[in-house]
Chains A and B, each alone.
Chain A
Amino acid sequence: MVNHTPFIVGAYIVALVGFGGLAIASLVARRRIRRELSARGLERR
């Protein structure tokens, strides 16, 4: 009997890394751009 747990856990880790990584990268990029805009006095609410 093959143990399927590593494949199931692996799939959820792939999703966590993919979606979580993209969400973090998106937030970091937004923060960086806003900081640069702010440094030039161009921030917009």
Chain B
Amino acid sequence: MASLHVLANPARFRRFSQRVLPALSVATALALAVGLWLALVESPPDYQQGETVRIMFLHVPSAWLSMMGYALLAALGASLLVWRHPLAALMARAAAPVGAVFAAVCLLTGALWGRPMWGTYWVWDARLTSMLLLFFLYLGHIALSRAYDDSERGDRAAAILALVGVINLPVIKFSVDWWNTLHQPASVMKLGGPSIDPSILTPLLVMALALLLLFVVLVLLRTETEIDRRRLEAAEMAL
């Protein structure tokens, strides 16, 4: 925990980020190459979904990461409001668009899977609707953080939205248990372990690792930019 507080200093974080980004970028490229090979070439068609199971290798990790990204936004929001960590606001500004893109990819790939499997691109069931709400929460966070001339006010307003919106995460996770939905129940993160065959589970987990690395790389890269942007704004105000 102490090391996290040390990294809350933007200059120190920037130096740390510059050290780890090259290695993380290479690891991301390698993991993506292996993941795509497994997803598109090695894995067999599913006995029910056929070839469309290959869409799941994008859809499911995107869903996990968009939820993880929102949990990160909420943690950064709490960090900003409680401890006033200067890095928290900058990282939240950097992470929100990344999370929004992951949520959008989850929704669009889900629609492209739903059309051949369910016969429709969209239904207003609890899982799909709560996921759409998550995407709107991301857009709200991006809009709010940029809505004020005083960036600190915008960051605080966005932090409050992130904390309020975190209630949507358990709704997304348990929507398939609480309500009768067209969306299938959990098959990986559930009690008793995954119920997916290893030939499908392996590419899914490798793609999840690759996209997690991509998420981290994008957030670090964008946080560096936000730190530099704040420095530039401070220099312009001083003139």
Residues of A whose CB lies within 8 Å of any CB of B are 2, 4-5, 7-8, 10-12, 14-15, 18-19, 21-23, 26-27, 29-30, 33-34, 36-37, 40, 42, 44
Whether B218 and A11, one on each chain, are in contact in the complex, defined by CB atoms closer than 8 angstroms, is no
Chain A residues whose CB sits within 8 angstroms of the CB of B14 once the complex forms: 44
Known: A11-B109, A19-B105. A40 touches B218 (CB 8 A): no
Whether B225 and A22, one on each chain, are in contact in the complex, defined by CB atoms closer than 8 angstroms, is no
Chain B residues whose CB sits within 8 angstroms of the CB of A12 once the complex forms: 40, 58
Interface of A is mostly: helix
Whether B229 and A18, one on each chain, are in contact in the complex, defined by CB atoms closer than 8 angstroms, is no
Chain A residues whose CB sits within 8 angstroms of the CB of B40 once the complex forms: 12
Chain A residues whose CB sits within 8 angstroms of the CB of B59 once the complex forms: 11
Q: How many B residues touch the partner, as a band?
A: 20 to 34
Whether B51 and A15, one on each chain, are in contact in the complex, defined by CB atoms closer than 8 angstroms, is no
Query: Looking across the interface, which residue of chain B has its beta carbon closest to that of A28?
Result: B225
Closest 3 CB pairs of A and B: A11-B109, A11-B55, A30-B225
Distance, CA A24 to CA B58, complexed state (A): 20
Distance, CA A25 to CA B58, complexed state (A): 21
Known: A4-B51, A26-B222. A11 touches B108 (CB 8 A): yes
Whether A22 and B98, one on each chain, are in contact in the complex, defined by CB atoms closer than 8 angstroms, is yes
B54 contact from A8, A26, A36, A37, Cβ within 8 A: A8
